[in-house]
Amino acid sequence: MIIPGLMKVVTRRNDVRFLIYGRVDEVRPILEKYPKVAAVSELIHCEIAVRMDDKPSQALRHGRWKSSMWKAIEAVKAGQADACVSAGNTGALMAMSRFCLRTMATIDRPAIAAIWPTMRGESVVLDVGATIGADAHQLIDFAILGAAMSRALFDIDRPTVGLLNIGVEEVKGQEEVKEAGQLLREAGLMSMSYHGFVEGDDLGKGTVDVVVTEGFAGNIALKTAEGTARQIGSYLRAAMNRTLMARIGYIFAKGAFDRLREKMDVRKANGGVFLGLNGIVVKSHGGTDDEGFAAAVELAYDMIRNSLLDRIEADLDLFHARHPRKLTADAAADDDKE
């Protein structure tokens, strides 16, 4: 699905080039079927492919320098590529990306941000799996990262930001979330408008442009939403095929169902962005198809074109100049290990 996905990108974007890392004997026969992709691509041979069941520590230790995943990330660090897009092992991709690209100077932990379809359009939700548990300052960093991404992708001057919580009342929730809310309210950041706490149903409503949470809750919310979309789609297909009258009704309502299918298409929101690193890395679902992979590549394209990293660095510098702080003990320990 990767090479066919690149074909879709080439037909929609006329100024892209690709560095494709993998086993040449396996990739070249597929690439030759898509001459338009081959014309704008360079195929680089790599002996090792990180397996989907490899632990991040294994991927880092065993032959990482020769792996296609490492080489793709390294190309971003060396300035040979503007972004890396991978459908591989998420944990290994995050570990390698953090080890190779490093986090930005004031960032303790990176976050994975997802584009979330809503009733009002689209929102940015982070973190959806990179950091399990987060303190108040890390949640604030996520808010800054998400707001910068929202401005870059959706052309919003001052996106609204909400903290995901078990209630909108200020007395509810974990202490880290309440502290982050108070700090964001007092900070008065010009790069965002702090809305307050939001609940799970606000994700679909599109109450805010950016929803901030830690990775455990965010990942569960993401997988639940994707599963619900597939569940509803399955129910509709079954209902439309149940009787002759239902099939006839479907013919008359086909246009409406096509629009609904378009709205519920999880492929269009494919691509988790690793934010907080000194480079752009996008993680595609491993089980997507060519249209989904193309969406992940085009997400990276849009962030490059809209100078996402420059926006993030400017916002972080401004905030931390006003609110200096030291690294957390965990982050300092991680840096020492690296």
**Angle at CA 234, nearest 5°, toward 231 and 238?**
140
What is the separation, in whole angstroms, between the first and last Cα of the chain? Answer: 34
The residue extents of the domains of the chain are: 104-264+307-338
Whole-number pLDDT of residue 301: 94
Q: Which one, of 170, 169, 192, lies nearest residue 179 by Cα? A: 170
Q: Which one, of 162, 129, 187, 144, lies nearest residue 276 by Cα? A: 144
Are the C-beta atoms of 23 and 45 separated by less than 8 Å?
yes
Q: Cis bond leading into 202, ω under 30°?
A: no
- CB atoms < 10 A from the CB of 79, how many? 8
Beta carbons within 8 Å of 160's beta carbon, 6+ residues apart:
192, 193, 194, 195, 207, 208, 209, 210
What are the backbone angles phi and psi of residue 150, rounded to the nearest 5°?
Answer: -65, -40
Beta carbons within 8 Å of 218's beta carbon, 6+ residues apart:
112, 125, 126, 127, 128, 129, 164
CA distance 63 to 66: 6
Whole-number pLDDT of residue 111: 93
Are the C-beta atoms of 303 and 76 separated by less than 8 Å?
no
Are the C-beta atoms of 116 and 211 separated by less than 8 Å?
yes
CA distance 37 to 11: 9
Whole-number pLDDT of residue 327: 46
Are the C-beta atoms of 273 and 144 separated by less than 8 Å?
no
Q: What is the pLDDT along the chain (338 residues), one digit of tens a residue?
A: 999 999 999 999 989 999 999 999 999 999 999 999 999 999 999 988 888 888 888 878 776 778 999 999 999 999 999 999 999 999 999 999 999 999 998 888 899 999 888 888 889 999 898 888 889 989 999 999 999 999 988 888 899 999 999 988 888 888 999 999 998 888 878 889 999 999 988 988 899 999 999 989 988 988 888 787 778 778 877 877 888 877 777 677 777 766 766 666 667 778 899 999 999 999 998 888 999 999 999 999 999 998 899 888 888 887 777 766 654 444 444 544 44
Whole-number pLDDT of residue 330: 47
Whole-number pLDDT of residue 86: 95
Are the C-beta atoms of 280 and 273 separated by less than 8 Å?
yes
Tell me if residue 281 falls in helix, strand or coil. Answer: strand
Whole-number pLDDT of residue 132: 87
In the block, which residue shows the tokens 């809310």?
Answer: 181
Relative to beta strand 83-86, strand 280-283 is parallel
For 104-264+307-338, give the CATH class.
alpha beta
Q: Which residues of 130-143 are buried (b: 16+ CB within 10 A; e: fewer)?
A: bbeebbbbbbbbbb
pTM of the model: 0.84
Take residue 106 and report the two structure tokens written for it. 């004031």
CA distance 327 to 137: 10
CA distance 296 to 270: 6
Relative to beta strand 210-212, strand 272-275 is unpaired
Take residue 267 and report the two structure tokens written for it. 């492929």
| 125-172 pLDDT tens trace | 998 988 888 899 899 999 999 999 999 888 888 999 999 999 888 888
Q: Which one, of 78, 117, 92, lies nearest residue 264 by Cα? A: 117
